[in-house]
Structure 1
Amino acid sequence: MNPTSSSSSSSSKSETMNPKKQTQYQNIIVMRHGDRIDNFDPLWISTAPRPWDPPLVEEGRVRAFCTARKFRNLFGYPLHRVFVSPFIRCIQTAKEAVIALSAIHDNPEALTGDSLPIDPSKIKVSVEYGLCEMMSRRAIRLEVAPKDGNWGFDISEREAMLPAGTVDKNVARVYKELPKWEEPLSDTRARYEKIVKDLADKHPTENLLLVTHGEGVGAAFSSFKKGTEVYEVDYCGYVELRRPIFKKDQSFTAGEFEVLTNTGQTGVKYSI
Structure 2
Amino acid sequence: MDAIPLPLGGVTCYFVRHGERIDHIDEKWVKTAQTPYDPPLTPEGCKQAQCTGAFIQRLESEATANQDAGTLLQTDFLVLTSPFLRCAQTAEGLCQGFQRQCEVNARPSTESVVDSRQWKVAVEPGLSEVMNENYFDRQLPDTIISERVEEIVRGSVCSNMQYDNNYIPTRGRLPEYPEHFQDMMARFVSTLDYATSVQLDRISKQMVAAAVRRDEMDTKVPSAVRKVLIFVTHGAGIGSLLWATTMRPGANEVYYCCLSRAQIVARRTSQPLQAFGKSRIPAYEWMVDYKAYTRHLPNL
TM range (shorter): 0.7 to 0.9
| AA in 1 matched with 2:193 | K
Task: Select 1:157's aligned residue among 151, 156, 165.
Answer: 151
| AA in 1 matched with 2:288 | V
**1:27 and 1:120 mapped to 2: Cα distance?**
15
**1:136 and 1:182 mapped to 2: Cα distance?**
5
Find the counterpart in structure 2 of residue 209 from structure 1.
Answer: 230
Which structure's relative contact order is higher, taking Cα pairs within 8 Å and 6+ residues apart?
2
What are the superposed Cα offsets for residues 223-253 of structure 1, whole Å, 9 maximum, x if unpaired?
222343432200001221111369xxxxxxx
RMSD: 2.6
What are the superposed Cα offsets for residues 53-85 of structure 1, whole Å, 9 maximum, x if unpaired?
010000000000111111111231556111101
Deviation at 1:99, TM superposition (A): 2.5
For the 8 Å contact 1:99–1:163, the answer to whether it is kept is: no
**Which portions of structure 1, spanning 4 or more consecutive aligned residues, are displaced by more than 6 angstroms?**
none
Find the counterpart in structure 2 of residue 89 from structure 1.
Answer: 86
Partner-residue secondary structure (3-state), 2:231: strand
Partner-residue secondary structure (3-state), 1:257: strand
Deviation at 1:104, TM superposition (A): 8.7
**2:152 and 2:48 mapped to 1: Cα distance?**
20
Find the counterpart in structure 1 of residue 285 from structure 2.
Answer: 256
For the 8 Å contact 2:52–2:259, the answer to whether it is kept is: no
| AA in 2 matched with 1:260 | D
For the 8 Å contact 2:265–2:287, the answer to whether it is kept is: no
Q: How does 1:1-272 map to 2 (within 5 A)?
A: 24-75=9-60, 76-77=63-64, 78=75, 80-103=77-100, 106-107=103-104, 122-140=118-136, 142=137, 145=138, 149-150=140-141, 152-153=143-144, 154=147, 155-160=149-154, 161-164=157-160, 166-204=162-200, 205=203, 206-244=227-265, 255-262=284-291, 265-266=293-294
Q: How many residues align?
A: 223
For the 8 Å contact 1:79–1:209, the answer to whether it is kept is: no
For the 8 Å contact 1:88–1:158, the answer to whether it is kept is: no
For the 8 Å contact 1:120–1:165, the answer to whether it is kept is: no
**2:198 and 2:99 mapped to 1: Cα distance?**
22
**2:247 and 2:52 mapped to 1: Cα distance?**
27
TM superposition score normalised by structure 2: 0.67
What are the superposed Cα offsets for residues 154-191 of structure 1, whole Å, 9 maximum, x if unpaired?
12124431125521122211112211121111111111
For the 8 Å contact 1:65–1:96, the answer to whether it is kept is: yes
**1:73 and 1:81 mapped to 2: Cα distance?**
17
| AA in 2 matched with 1:59 | E
For the 8 Å contact 1:127–1:159, the answer to whether it is kept is: no
Unaligned runs of 5+ in 1: 1-16, 19-23, 109-118, 247-253, 268-272
Which moves more between the two structures, 87-96 or 155-164? 155-164
Aligned CA distance change for structure 1 residues 165 and 72 (closer, same or farther; 3 Å): closer
TM superposition score normalised by structure 1: 0.73
For the 8 Å contact 1:64–1:96, the answer to whether it is kept is: yes
Partner-residue secondary structure (3-state), 1:175: coil
Partner-residue secondary structure (3-state), 2:251: strand
Aligned CA distance change for structure 1 residues 208 and 181 (closer, same or farther; 3 Å): same
